[in-house]
Amino acid sequence: MKASAFLYPWDVIGDPDAPARIADLGVAQVTLAAAYHSTRALTPRHPRHRVVTAEHAAVLYAPDDRWQGRALRPYPAGDWAPGDAYGEAAEALAAAGLDVHSWVVLAHNSRMGAEHPGTSVVNAYGDRYPWAPCIAQPATRAHLTDLAAEAAARPGAGGTELESCGWYGLAHLHAHDKIAGVGLGEAGQYLMSLCFCADCRAGYARCGHDPDELAAAVRRALDPVWRGAATTPGWAGVEKLLGAETAAATRAWREENARALQEAAVGAVRAAAPDGFQVLLHADPVTYHCGANAGADPRHILAVADGVVVPCTGGPDLLEPFAAHAGERTVLAANLTVVAGMGGSPATLAADARHAARSGATELRLYHAGLASGDDLALIGKALSGGG
C-alpha cells in the first residue's frame, strides 16, 4: 500500500539530509503541516536543535489578504516556522521525489479562544474551552472554512488532510493536565463536551428545547459521575444518564453542525484547488465523538470527500464502517503511530498494515517521521521494503 509520513516544516528546514532520509524510508508521500496547533516537539536528528516549541496555533506560511479587516484571522508562526516555512520544506521534499500533501488543523486553536473567548465551546456549567472553537457559530465556521481553503491548497500540494474538522470537546492534552481524577467514561466525556454558547443555546431553542432546562438536565445527569459512578459504555451510557429523547436532540444538533462544517470546508478546498486535488478528513465513524479525528457519518462523508484517515494504532476496527460505504476510488488511510516512545509499534508495522488492509485500508499514514528515533526509522524502512 501507498504510505505517507507526517512531518512538520521544522523537521526539514535547516536539515539538508531530511528529505533523502524520508524518501529512503520507502514512503511515496509526505503529509506536511500547513496549519497546526501549539505543540512542543522533538527533532532528534536536526543539526541545529532538538526541541521546537510552537507557542500557539498558527499557519506555517504567509497568509494572504483575504483576512484584512476580519476579527478572526489565522496567526502567523513565530521563529519556529517563519515566513513560508511550509513552502520551503515542501520544495525540498518534492526535490527528493516525494509527493507533498498539506496537513491542516481546523477546530483546535487555544490562542483564538484566549483572544476571542466568545468563539469557544461553553459546557453546561459555563466553563469555556479555549482550545475548542464552537463550529455552530457562523463567524467561526466561516473562518475555519476559509482557513481550510487557504492552508490546504498550497502551491505544489497534491492534496490535503483536514484534521479537527468537526467538534472538539473536553478531551485535550494540556500543560500539566489535572482532569483525570474522575473517570468520566465515554458518556461523561460527551456530556462535558456539549456546547452552551449563545449560538448553541439559540439552536437548541429553535429545535424546541429550552437551553436552560437542557443545561440543568446535563448537570443532573453528571451528578453520579462526579460521585464516582461507572458509566455504561457507548451511546447507551449517554441515554441512560440524560434520557433517550434529550440525548437524541443534542446529538442531532451537533451532527447537523459537524456536517455543515465538513461540507463547507471540503467545498471551499475544492473551489480553491486544481482539478484532481485530493481531499481527506481525519475521521471517526462514531458521529458523536469529538477531537482531532472528528465524528463523521461514513456514508455522508465519503460522498463529500475523497476519503478518510482513520486512527488504527489500537487496531483497524474503526476502518470497517467506512469500508462498508467506500467506492472504487475511495481512500481509506490507516493512521498508525510508529514512534515507540509515543505508544506506537514500528516493529509490527508490516503486520499492522496487513491487518488494516484486511479491514479495508487502501493506504497507510505513519505518525510521525519527524518525531521517531533512529531505531524507529530503521524498523519503518525495513517494514516498507518488505523485510518486516
CA distance 386 to 388: 6
Residue 330's φ and ψ, nearest 5 degrees, are -65, 135
Is residue 145 within 8 A of residue 125, CB to CB? The reply is no
Grid cell 521546537 — which residue?
Answer: 52
Q: What is the DSSP string of 317-356?
A: TTHHHHHTT--TT-EEEEEEE--GGGT--GGGHHHHHHHH
Question: What was the pLDDT predicted at 173?
Answer: 73
Of 129, 139, 122, the closest CA to residue 73 belongs to 139
Per DSSP, 274 falls in state P
- For 162, the enclosing helix (H) or strand (E) is strand 159-163
The CATH code belonging to domain 2-384 is: 3.20.20.80
Q: Which SS3 state, helix, strand or coil, does residue 251 take? A: helix
Q: What is the DSSP string of 137-184?
A: SHHHHHHHHHHHHHHHS-TT--EEEEES-S---S----TT---TTS--
* 99-105 and 159-163 strand pairing: parallel
Residue type, 155: P
Name residues whose C-beta falls within 8 Å of residue 276's C-beta, 6 or more positions apart in sequence: 158
CA distance 372 to 340: 8
Cell numbers given for 304: 463529500
Question: What was the pLDDT predicted at 174?
Answer: 73
pTM metric for this prediction: 0.97
Is residue 30 within 8 A of residue 97, CB to CB? The reply is no
State in Å, rounded, how far the first CA of the chain is from the last one: 14
Instruction: For the chain, 388 residues long, give each residue's pLDDT as a single digit of tens.
Output: 999 999 999 999 999 999 999 999 999 999 999 999 999 999 999 999 999 999 999 999 999 999 999 999 999 999 999 999 999 999 999 999 999 999 999 999 999 999 999 999 999 999 999 999 999 999 999 999 999 999 999 999 999 999 999 999 998 877 667 677 788 899 999 999 999 999 999 999 999 999 999 999 999 999 999 999 989 999 999 999 999 999 999 999 999 999 999 999 999 999 999 999 999 999 999 999 999 999 999 999 999 999 999 999 999 999 999 999 999 999 999 999 999 999 999 999 999 999 999 999 999 999 999 999 999 999 999 999 987 6
